Each structure stands twice: as C-alpha cells, then as structure tokens.
Amino acid sequence: MENQEMSFVAGIPTLDIRAFTEGSVSDHAQFVADLGNAYRSIGFVAIHGHGIPDKLIEGLYAQSQSFFGLPLVQKRAYARPETNNQRGFVSMGIEHAKDSEAADLKEFWQVGQPNPPADADMAHFPVNSSVSEMPHFNRTAEQTFEALENLGQTILRAIAIHLNLEEKFFENWVAGGNSILRAIHYPPIKKEPETAVRAGQHEDINLITLLVGASASGLEVLRHDNTWTPVTALPEHIVVNVGDMLQRLTNHKLKSTTHRVVNPPKSEWGKPRFSMPFFCHPRPEMRLDAMKHLVPDGEDPIEGPISAGEYLEQRLREIGLASK
C-alpha cells in the first residue's frame, strides 16, 4: 500500500493500521514513528483499517441500549460489588474521577477476560455475568472483547518497536490479561446538572484504551497548552489512548492524557449518550517499574515500583469502585 502522511480528525492524529499489518517495510516503519510521535505529544490517536466487523460493534451497542432500558431494579440484580465492580452492572453515583467527590453521570456494564491464563490467580478474574432477560448479550460482549484485545495486541507491538523493545514484549503480559470492556450509558439530563461534565477529567488506569465510537459528542482531550479539544471520531475509527500504566512503564515518555466527557448543549439534554471503551490491562503480576533504558543516567524514575495488580487496586479505591 502507498505510504500516506498522517492526517488529523478533530485535533488528534489518524492512522491506518494496515500500514503496520499489511504495508511495506517503509509503511511499517512510518506507522511506528507516527504512532510514537502521537503518544509522546498528545497521547491520543484515531485508528482505522482495523477490520473489526461493524456488525459486531453495532450488535453490542444495540444490546447494551436494550439492557440499559430495563427497569433499575432489574439492572441492580446484576451488580457485583464483591468484584470491586469489575463485572456486571454499576449504577449511577458510584464512580467518580480521582480527587473528585462529584459522581459521574453514567451507569455501565463491565465484561472481563473470558479466557484467563491457565496459571492465573482466579481472584483477579471473576466470571462474567449473564443477563437472563438477554441471552445473547454476554456472548456478543465477549466476542467484542476478544476482537479488541487482538487489536490492542497489534498496537502494543508497534509501541514496543517504538520503545526499542522486542516486538512481542507485551504479548505474554496482555494475552489473557486483566482487561475490561465497558458499555457506558449517560442518561438524558432531566434537570440543571450540578457540574458541566458527565465524566470528570481523568487519566485512564491501564496500558492503552480502545474507544469504539460514541453515540454523541462530548469527549474532550486536554492539550499541552491547557486547552480542551473535542474528539468525535468517524464511525470506522477506534480512538486509542495511553493510560497511566504505560506512562509509568515508560517513565512518562508516552503521555497519559487528561480527558473528560462534557454535557451537551441544553437543546440536546434529552438525548442519551452511549460509548464503549476497552481498557487493555496486563496480567496482575506484571511490573510497572520504569524501564531502565528510559530513565536518564544519574536520575531516579519519575514514579516508584509497583505491580499492575497493586496499582489497579489502588486506583479502583481512588475512583470509588473498590472499598477503602
């Protein structure tokens, strides 16, 4: 395929991943360079050419909307607080941004790893919930999980090359990792909200996040000049951003960018918003200590040593999903 210059959609770089998976040697190298430059600067990129079937994504969106349309008492029957709210239904008013007391204006459904490693500590891998009213919901969610996990692996291969690591460095950590697929519902706004945001400004916990579209605008990214840029990717794009785990691991060479979801104009308060992020996590035992070759000689790492499991537990407490 022809080597094409990186384009931009709504202020973030846009890349065709086929340059990496199907292109020439120069296409492959250019994709790695462009991805690395994007992640060292703004921390977000829109990916197309990923090959995930529209039918799969559309099916999960449709089933998610049907689930969120159930009466609250039925949805609450699928709450799983004993999993640190990492499986099943999480109702409005529970999650909040780190260092914020204002609850996000959303409810969501969480699906975890359907294929845990044979040697995994199953305390980190609760069984996914099934919804009796919707017999196909769980299988569709797990199929989408698997497709996004595979895409995440491919992107992490390019990231590894950019970081001068062996291409498959992340493979054994992320295949069967503690990732989460989240279907989010931001209900219609029925009265003057207490804040201007549906989800407070935050950085993601994980290695990378893959965001599969959204039914309405609202996502904003904080740029280095301290201004907010709205991001509404085209339907065929998946927005992929760096999370705090990868930022720690790379000694902040790759940026975990602050983002938020703002309320729509008052004329659109009556419309719900749906989105579907896939939070790509490694296995809990992976160390997040800064890579030695990314720490300048004579300097200490920016952040201290910790495992992925320990870090996840810490962050889940900070955002209200795990008990203190």
Task: Tell me the pLDDT tens digit for each residue of 23-36.
Answer: 999 999 999 999 99
Q: Which helix (H) or strand (E) holds 252?
A: none
Is pLDDT at 8 greater than 60 in this prediction? no
Domains and CATH numbers, the chain: 53-318 (2.60.120.330)
Of 39-48, 203-212, 223-232, 287-296, the poorest mean pLDDT is in 223-232
% of the chain residues with pLDDT over 90: 64
Instruction: List the one residue out of 199, 205, 206, 236 whose CA is nearest residue 221.
Output: 199
Mean pLDDT computed over every residue of the chain: 89
pTM: 0.92
Roughly what angle, to the nearest 10 degrees, separates helices 137-162 and 54-68?
Answer: 130
Phi then psi for 173, rounded to 5 degrees?
A: -80, -35
Find out whether 198 and 226 touch, Cβ atoms under 8 Å: no
pLDDT of residue 290: 97
Structure tokens at 208: 């990378």
Find out whether 256 and 243 touch, Cβ atoms under 8 Å: yes
pLDDT (tens digit per residue) in 83-118: 999 999 999 888 887 877 777 889 999 999 999 988
Q: What is the DSSP string of 3-43?
A: ----EEETTEEEEETHHHHTS-HHHHHHHHHHHHHHHHHTS
Is pLDDT at 164 greater than 80 in this prediction? yes
